[in-house]
């Protein structure tokens, strides 16, 4: 092999070595935020840069009964509970990028949707699915779970 060929092979090899990705750090294990309620679930779990919030309903301060009055008070109480979970992690609704909504009666979707829109910046709404279901915990009318962006590095 000529000197020129060896130089090309050496340069190519050096380029490959420097272009190789660095050894990835071991991913951090999930971090569980225990619920204050007497039920077997976490209020949120941090995995990588995403905070996954458990579904929440429009419960009263005890978390053991739904607020009275129907879909509108329940939706407002639900957002207050979700907002408190986000705030406990230094986040707000603008950090939420995905929501799944469960409604006991799809005819209540417009009332829910009006309150939902109050909590997010227009034009930056999270992706969302809304499903009609035949029952929710404690007889709730609405439940919502969210995913929020919560970078852990940088």
Instruction: Report pLDDT digits (tens) over 94-148.
Output: 999 999 999 999 999 999 999 999 999 999 999 999 999 999 999 999 999 999 9
The mean pLDDT value for 18-35 works out to 73
> If pLDDT is split at 50, 70 and 90, which confidence band does 3 have?
low
Cβ 53 vs Cβ 86: under 8 Å? yes
Cβ neighbours for 67, distance < 8 A, ≥ 6 positions apart: 58, 59, 60, 73, 74, 77
For 28-149, the fitting CATH number among 3.30.70.20, 3.40.50.2300, 3.40.50.720, 3.30.1330.40 is: 3.30.1330.40
| 151/35: higher pLDDT | 151
* pTM across the whole model: 0.81
Say if residue 1's pLDDT is above 70: no
* SS3 label, residue 140: coil
pLDDT, residue 30, reads 87
Task: Name the residue ranges covered by the structural domains of the chain.
Answer: 28-149
Cβ neighbours for 152, distance < 8 A, ≥ 6 positions apart: 28, 46, 48, 49
38-90: pLDDT as tens digits: 778 889 999 999 999 999 999 999 999 999 999 999 999 999 999 999 999 99
- Report the DSSP beta bridge partners of residue 53: 44
């Amino acid at each position: 092999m000529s000197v020129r060929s060896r130089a090309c092979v050496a340069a190519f090899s050096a380029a490959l070595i420097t272009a190789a990705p660095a050894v990835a750090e071991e991913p951090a294990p999930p971090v569980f935020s225990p619920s204050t309620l007497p039920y077997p679930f976490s209020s949120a779990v941090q995995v990588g840069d995403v905070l996954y919030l458990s579904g929440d309903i429009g419960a009263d301060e005890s978390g053991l009964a739904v607020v009275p009055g129907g879909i509108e008070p329940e939706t407002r109480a639900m957002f207050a509970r979700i907002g408190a979970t986000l705030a406990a992690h230094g986040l707000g609704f603008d950090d939420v990028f995905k929501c799944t909504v469960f409604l006991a009666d799809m005819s209540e979707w417009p009332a829910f949707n009006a309150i939902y829109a109050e909590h997010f910046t227009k034009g930056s709404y999270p992706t969302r699915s809304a499903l009609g279901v035949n029952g929710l915990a404690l007889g709730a009318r609405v439940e919502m779970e969210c995913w929020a962006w919560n970078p852990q590095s940088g």
